[in-house]
Amino acid sequence: MLVESVGAAALLGACGVAWAVGGRSSPVFGPNVWRGRRDQPWIALSFDDGPSESTPELLEVLKRLDAPSTFFFCGASVRRLPEIARQVVREGHEAGNHADSHRRLYLRSPGFVADEIRRAQETIAAVTGVKPRLFRAPYGGRWFGMRRALSELGLVGVAWTAIGMDWRLPAGKIVRRLLRYARNGAIFCLHDGRAGEPRPDIRATVEAVRLLIPELQARGYSLKTVSQILCPTT
């Protein structure tokens, strides 16, 4: 009986830690939002891991379909491709912070976590002239030190309503997966990079976006940045 009780307690403890680290509504390591306001028919597309050499192809689609989006940049990728980062901002999209190196933050020291967030923030601001307001943890995993770092830098943690799994699914399945979660205030997570890899293949992502946006618009949704649906100005 004692062994069973200890085992159950350990399991519950592990589940609690997993929720704290990756639960989309978990406030344990700082405020974290996973959807926007639901009083308007709007949805936010967000893209992680960039910028990459493939980002401009995605930007062409977004421009043609009039879909301002939020790009969570890795600091190292911004330093490698500064002009593409500036292009994202120049074309009216929002720049967010996705840490510096895209290494997992959980099970790291608070100092490591803070340095990853701060270095990316400084890089993005210096290169693009825009200071990010939003932060998304690599792999969605949060950890000790994050609450203080976000507070000091004036950042809001952002998860997602649905993730497209676009690094491994074909375009059609990505679209069907996200459409199941199409609701007022939804935040969709896609990727214009692949964990900082040079010249990533994001053809499935680009094609999915090309198919997804017209379908969302046909259902009456407007495409906005994440900040717009969290703190609308109109």
Structure confidence at residue 19 (pLDDT): 67
Structure confidence at residue 29 (pLDDT): 74
Q: Which has the minimum average pLDDT: 38-52, 84-98, 131-145?
A: 131-145
Catalytic residue among 48, 49, 166, 192: 48
Structure confidence at residue 9 (pLDDT): 38
User: pTM for this one?
Assistant: 0.89
Q: Which residue has the higher pLDDT, 164 or 12?
A: 164
User: Nearest CA to 146 among 95, 112, 122?
Assistant: 112
Q: Which has the minimum average pLDDT: 22-26, 59-63, 92-96, 112-116?
A: 22-26
Is position 191 annotated as part of the catalytic site?
A: yes
Nearest-angstrom CA–CA distance, 121 and 84: 17
Is position 93 annotated as part of the catalytic site?
A: no
How does the average pLDDT of the chain come out, rounded?
Answer: 91
- Residue 143: strand, helix, or coil: coil
Structure confidence at residue 75 (pLDDT): 98
Phi-psi sector, 35: left (phi>0), alpha (psi -120 to 50), beta: beta
Following CA atoms 98, 104, 109, 115 in sequence, which dihedral angle do they give, to the nearest 10 degrees? Answer: -30
Catalytic residue among 93, 98, 102, 191: 191
Fold of 30-230: TIM Barrel (3.20.20)
Structure confidence at residue 15 (pLDDT): 54
Asked if the model's pLDDT at residue 116 lies above 60, the reply is yes
Q: What's the distance, CA 177 to chain centroid?
A: 17
Asked if the model's pLDDT at residue 127 lies above 80, the reply is yes
Nearest-angstrom CA–CA distance, 28 and 119: 23
Structure confidence at residue 79 (pLDDT): 98
| Residues β-bridged to residue 190 | 47
Backbone phi and psi for residue 202, each to the nearest 5 degrees, phi listed first: -115, 30
